[in-house]
C-alpha cells in the first residue's frame, strides 16, 4: 500500500517551521550581514538564537528528551518548509555542511569525539567543515586525493591544500580527508584553531547562501594526536558515501522549498502584472511556464520522497540518491529560470529573492556531484545490472 497522506503531527510541525521561517527569518534576507560570501557568523548566531527560542533548532537530530531522530521521509517534509528562505536552514541548524557532518559524526564518532565535536554542533554553538575538495582534482573523483597524512609517533602530520571548503572561516569542527601512508584515504577530526590550518582566502562564488562562503585552506604540518582519527584508517571513501547519499537528498529538499517560494512569487506577479489588456498569467506563454513549474515541483517532491523511503528501509540508496540529485538539480534550475522569465526585469534584480535563488540553484547542479558524474554512475549501474 502506498499512502501519500502526511500524518497530522508531522503536518503541524511542517506548518510551524514554515511560519517561523516566513515570519522571523525572511526579514533578515535584506540584512547587511547577508554578504557576497553569504551570511556572517554574527547573523547566523542571531538566527540560531531565534530558532532555539522557538523550540525548532536542529529538529532533524535526536536531542535530549527525544527518542529518535527524524526519519528521512519526515526530513523531506520539514526541510522543504525550512527552504522557503535560503536563511531558513541556517537558522534551524539544518544547512550544509553541518547537517551532513552531524549525520556522519553520529554514525562513526566515538563517545569522546561526539562529546567534544558533535553535541556542540547539535546545540547550534559551533559550525563544521568537510575538507575533501582540492584544486588538483579531488572532488567528484576523491581518488585523486593529494593531501597527505604521515604517522608521527602516536599521532599524524597532515600537509596539503583544499579549496571550495564551505564555511571554513570560523568553523570549529573540522573533518579532514587525507591520504594516510600505507592505509589510504582516512578521515581526521580536529578543531579549526589548531596550528597548521591556514585559511588563505575566501573565494568569490555565485552562490551566497552558506555561512562565510567557500575558502582555500592550506594544511601546513598540521599535527594531530591519535585521538583525531575518525573511524578507521583507510575507510574515508566508505564513510564519505555514508554521508553523501542522505546529504544529496537534504540538498534537494531545501532547494525544493526555495523553488516553491519562487513559484509563488512568479504566480502572484503573473496575476497582477498586466500586458496587452490582461494579466500576463492569462497569456499562454506565461501560463504554460507556470504550469511547467508546477509539474516539475511535484515531480521533484515525489522523487525525493521515494528515495527517502528507500533510505528509511535501511538501504544505502546510492543509486536512488544519484537519480534524485541529477533530476532535481536540473529541474529546479529550469523552475528558477522560468520564474526569472515570468518576472522579467524584476527577475534579474534583488527586488525579490528569485534572482538569488537562481544563482544558488545553478551552483546546486555542481555540488555533491555534478549532474554528469551522477549520470555516469547511474549508467554504470544500469549496464552492470
* pLDDT exceeds cutoff 80 at 67: no
pLDDT band at 64 (very low <50, low <70, confident <90, very high): low
Q: Is 41 left (phi over 0), alpha (psi -120 to 50) or beta?
A: alpha
CATH topology for 237-384 is Butyryl-CoA Dehydrogenase, subunit A; domain 3 (1.20.140)
- All three cell numbers of 159, joined, read 600537509
Q: For residue range 317-343, list pLDDT tens digits in order.
A: 999 999 999 999 999 999 999 999 999
Answer yes or no: are the C-beta atoms of 86 and 262 closer than 8 Å.
Answer: no
Q: How far apart are CA 178 and CA 197, in angstroms?
A: 14
Answer yes or no: are the C-beta atoms of 70 and 60 closer than 8 Å.
Answer: yes
* pLDDT exceeds cutoff 70 at 138: yes
Q: For residue range 344-373, list pLDDT tens digits in order.
A: 999 999 999 999 999 999 999 998 999 999
Q: Which residues pair with 162 in a beta bridge?
A: 217
Compare 96 and 67 and report the one with higher pLDDT: 96
* pLDDT exceeds cutoff 80 at 1: no
* pLDDT exceeds cutoff 80 at 210: yes
Q: How far apart are CA 36 and CA 39, in angstroms?
A: 8
- Over the chain, what is the mean pLDDT? 96
- All three cell numbers of 84, joined, read 522557503
* pLDDT exceeds cutoff 90 at 142: no
* pLDDT exceeds cutoff 60 at 65: no
pLDDT of residue 140: 82
pLDDT band at 205 (very low <50, low <70, confident <90, very high): very high
Answer yes or no: are the C-beta atoms of 128 and 121 closer than 8 Å.
Answer: yes
* pLDDT exceeds cutoff 80 at 195: yes
Within 8 A by CB and 6+ apart from 357, the residues are: 86, 258, 259, 261, 262, 336, 339
* pLDDT exceeds cutoff 90 at 143: no
Domain map (residue ranges) of the chain: 8-95, 128-230, 237-384
Task: Summarize the confidence of residues 302-326 as an average pLDDT.
Answer: 96
Q: Given the DSSP bridges, would you call strands 229-230 and 184-191 parallel, antiparallel or unpaired?
A: antiparallel
Task: Summarize the confidence of residues 189-214 as an average pLDDT.
Answer: 97
Q: How far apart are CA 131 and CA 326, in angstroms?
A: 23
Task: Summarize the confidence of residues 81-86 as an average pLDDT.
Answer: 98
Q: How far apart are CA 18 and CA 353, in angstroms?
A: 16
Percent of the chain with pLDDT over 90: 93
pLDDT of residue 361: 97
Per CATH, the homologous superfamily of domain 128-230 is: Butyryl-CoA Dehydrogenase, subunit A, domain 2 (2.40.110.10)
Dihedral sign computed on CA atoms, order 37, 43, 44, 50: negative
Q: Is 236 left (phi over 0), alpha (psi -120 to 50) or beta?
A: alpha
Burial class (CB in 10 A: 0-12, 13-18, 19+), 339: buried
Q: How far apart are CA 137 and CA 162, in angstroms?
A: 10
Task: Summarize the confidence of residues 29-58 as an average pLDDT.
Answer: 97
Q: How far apart are CA 17 and CA 8, in angstroms?
A: 14
* pLDDT exceeds cutoff 90 at 310: yes
Amino acid at each position: 500500500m502506498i499512502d501519500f497522506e502526511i500524518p497530522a503531527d508531522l503536518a503541524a510541525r511542517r506548518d510551524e517551521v514554515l511560519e517561523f521561517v516566513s515570519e522571523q527569518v525572511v526579514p533578515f534576507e535584506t540584512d547587511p550581514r547577508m554578504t557576497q560570501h553569504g551570511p556572517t557568523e554574527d547573523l547566523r548566531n542571531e538566527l540560531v538564537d531565534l530558532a532555539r527560542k522557538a523550540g525548532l533548532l536542529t529538529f532533524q537530530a535526536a536531542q535530549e528528551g527525544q527518542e529518535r531522530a527524524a526519519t528521512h521521509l519526515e526530513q523531506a517534509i520539514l526541510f522543504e518548509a525550512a527552504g522557503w528562505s535560503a536563511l531558513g536552514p541556517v537558522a534551524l541548524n539544518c544547512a550544509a555542511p553541518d547537517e551532513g557532518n552531524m549525520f556522519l559524526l553520529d554514525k562513526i564518532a566515538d563517545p569522546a569525539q561526539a562529546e567534544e565535536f558533535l553535541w556542540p554542533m547539535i546545540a547550534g554553538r559551533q559550525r563544521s567543515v568537510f575538507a575533501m575538495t582540492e584544486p588538483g582534482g579531488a572532488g567528484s573523483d576523491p581518488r585523486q586525493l593529494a593531501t597527505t597524512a604521515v604517522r608521527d609517533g602516536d599521532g599524524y602530520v597532515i600537509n596539503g591544500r583544499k579549496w571550495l571548503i564551505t564555511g571554513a572561516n570560523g568553523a570549529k569542527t573540522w573533518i579532514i580527508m587525507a591520504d594516510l601512508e600505507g592505509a589510504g584515504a582516512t578521515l581526521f577530526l580536529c578543531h579549526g584553531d589548531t596550528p597548521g590550518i591556514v585559511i588563505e582566502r575566501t573565494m568569490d562564488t555565485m552562490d551566497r547562501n552558506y555561512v562565510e562562503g567557500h575558502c582555500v585552506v592550506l594544511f601546513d604540518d598540521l599535527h594531530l594526536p591519535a585521538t583525531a582519527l575518525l573511524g578507521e584508517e583507510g575507510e574515508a571513501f566508505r564513510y564519505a558515501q555514508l554521508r553523501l547519499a542522505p546529504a544529496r537528498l537534504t540538498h534537494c529538499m531545501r532547494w525544493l522549498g526555495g523553488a516553491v517560494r519562487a513559484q509563488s512569487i512568479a504566480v502572484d506577479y503573473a496575476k497582477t502584472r498586466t500586458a496587452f489588456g490582461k494579466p500576463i498569467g492569462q497569456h499562454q506563454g506565461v501560463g504554460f511556464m507556470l504550469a511547467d513549474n508546477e509539474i516539475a515541483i511535484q515531480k521533484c517532491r515525489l522523487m525525493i520522497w521515494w528515495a527517502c523511503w528507500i533510505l528509511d528501509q535501511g538501504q544505502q540508496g546510492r543509486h536512488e540518491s544519484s537519480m534524485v540529485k541529477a533530476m532535481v538539480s536540473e529541474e529546479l534550475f529550469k523552475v528558477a529560470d522560468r520564474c526569472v522569465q515570468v518576472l522579467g526585469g524584476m527577475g534579474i534584480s534583488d527586488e525579490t529573492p528569485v534572482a538569488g535563488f537562481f544563482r544558488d540553484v545553478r551552483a546546486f547542479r555542481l555540488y555533491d556531484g555534478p549532474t554528469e558524474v551522477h549520470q555516469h554512475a547511474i549508467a554504470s549501474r544500469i549496464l552492470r545490472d
